[in-house]
Amino acid sequence: MPVPPPYRVIQWATGAVGRSALRSVLTRPEFELAGVLVYDPDKIGVDAGELVGLSPVGVRCTDDVERVLKLEADCVLHMPLPASYFGDGVGSDVETICALLASGKNVITTTGFVYPRCYGSGLVERLEDACRAGGTTLHGTGVIPGFMSDLLPLTMTALSSRVDHIYVRESSDFRLHPSRQVTVDMMGFTRSAKDYTASVRPFRSMQRALFAESVQLVARTLGVELDEVEESDEFELANEEFEIAAGVVRPGTVCASRWLFSGLVRGRPFMTVECVYKADATRVRRWPSPGFVIHVEGVPQMTMAVEEMTHGLCAVAAHAVNSVPAVCSAPPGIATFLDLPPVTGRGTARLA
């Protein structure tokens, strides 16, 4: 049988997740790298292979958006930090994604968009117009949201005759996370309580947007209309000094945080996502140890646990890269994981 031509892929942003995705694209025969968009001035002109510790491949990184838009490619792996972190709201990412879609390139993004309908019909229409113009598909993905807080819970409900409440918990260890921008600037670890409260506002906005999408996707797929998605968060201060990859955590500074996102119906939670982030899980005893837990309350009761994920950022990248063939073959439009392929046979949600 003839071997199909490789998918031509553009890597958009090369942070920790982007570099992992780029390495996969370069080392897997079903892909061909078409271009790389970077934000760091020090990366401009660097060969893409050398950027991830491989031999040169002849594709150099650029910060020229117009040049990238003109490239011929099947798909763009869009992996910057969400625009909501920078205070720009989801609209800024929409502008970029729409331009890519309209230029004839499918887009897989890790900036959210697992359920764009959460933002209303106006945004959905803009995205769908861009998809029609380019004959392309948009798919938002990740690990949580994108897998643990939506795909797996919905898959588990295939065994349910009734669903009363879905609970998902993520607990992550950032001891070895290399990015100071993520660990310190975004999440607020190593900061004083006062500085944390002020600096974490953009992160809170980003988290609220991401997990509202995930919770709404699960609820609406199960036929439940939520009244609201409620968010709360708290933090823990270190009582000793210790070092992590991104810096030094000193006594009295933030070393962990816990976030709750609850989809409510008549004041009662139908779905709850708990996110625990620790600067170093071996030093922070409060809150659960690293891993994932999914609990479906109903008939029957079910609990699934993933006790360890050694390279969470690699998992985010892999889930996106592995979606390329399905997204490129999907009909034009917005595609959740339910469309790639559709999940069937779920139980019926009913509030007890």
Phi/psi for 285 (5° steps) reads -90, -25
Contact by Cβ (8 Å): 189, 246: yes
What the chain holds in terms of domains, given with CATH numbers, is: 7-142+317-339 (3.40.50.720), 151-308 (no CATH)
Query: Both tokens of residue 136?
Result: 């392309």
Is the C-alpha dihedral spanning 106, 112, 114, 115 positive or negative? negative
Average model confidence (pLDDT) across the chain:
92
pLDDT at 352: 42
Of residues 344 and 259, which shows the higher confidence score?
259
Give the model's pLDDT for residue 84. Answer: 65
Strand 268-278 with 291-299, pairing: unpaired
Task: Look at strands 247-249 and 242-244 and give their pairing.
Answer: antiparallel
Give the model confidence (pLDDT) of 255-310 as tens digits. 999 999 999 999 999 999 999 999 999 999 999 999 999 999 999 999 999 988 88
At 298 the three-state DSSP class reads strand
Amino acid present at 343: V
- Among left, alpha and beta (phi > 0; psi -120 to 50; other), residue 45 is left
Chain-centroid distance of CA 259 in Å reads 16
Report the 10 Å Cβ neighbour count for 60: 17
Residue 290 makes CB contacts below 8 A (sequence gap 6+) with: 171, 172, 173, 278, 281, 308, 309
Tell me how far the alpha carbon of residue 285 is from its chain's centroid.
26
Comparing 264 with 344, which gets the higher pLDDT?
264
The gap from C-alpha 303 to its chain's centroid, in whole angstroms, comes to 23
What CA–CA distances, in Å, run from 182 to 57, 115, 193? 29, 24, 18
In which band, very low, low, confident or very high, does the pLDDT at 345 lie, cut at 50, 70 and 90?
very low
Average pLDDT over residues 205-224: 93
Select the more confidently predicted residue: 240 or 350: 240
Give the pLDDT mean for 230-243: 96
Q: Which tens digit of pLDDT belongs to each residue from 15-33?
A: 989 999 999 999 999 999 9
Strand spans (E) along the chain: 7-12, 31-37, 75-78, 106-109, 137-140, 162-173, 228-237, 242-244, 247-249, 254-265, 268-278, 291-299, 302-306, 333-334
Q: What is the mean pLDDT of residues 304-322?
A: 89
Distance CA 304, CA 287 (A): 18
